[in-house]
Amino acid sequence: MKHKRLTPEQRESLISKALSMSRQGSCSKKLSNHGVQLLETEFGVSQATIYNIWNRAKKAASDPSIHAYVAYTKKCGRRRKYDYDKIVAAVREMPAEQKVTLSQAALALGIHQASLRNILRRTGNLPTEWTYRNFPTQWA
């Protein structure tokens, strides 16, 4: 399965080559199967991608408000509840007595300890001595 994101310039050249390969040279006509296969090998994308770009070009030909060359890149996934950079900066500025354990640091920041651990782990800032059960020796 081919996965390649085309730049707007590549999309434009794909559409112009598809126009030259299309039946009767207009956007309203179908692409030939051979033409799709040639475009597929030249640009390294799947047939579905070529057809999606071609259908978007057909819509753009009839409606000037649609841009055929723009690739939509949506943000996917769940939105972050916390700003990772702000959390890491707050942990670094925190006094040493407040960040003895992960639980204490999370309590001082007002977030859940699992959230703090995940943020620090994903940013590469998780100290190895911080675990959920790592309490100072005076509390043991």
CA distance 19 to 27: 6
CA distance 5 to 8: 10
- Please report the pLDDT score of residue 111 as a whole number: 92
Digit-coded pLDDT (tens) for 11-39: 888 888 888 877 665 565 677 788 888 88
Digit-coded pLDDT (tens) for 39-84: 888 888 888 888 888 888 888 777 766 666 666 666 677 888 888 8
- Has residue 126 got a pLDDT over 70? yes
Q: What are the residue ranges spanned by the domains of the chain?
A: 8-62, 84-135
CA distance 73 to 71: 6
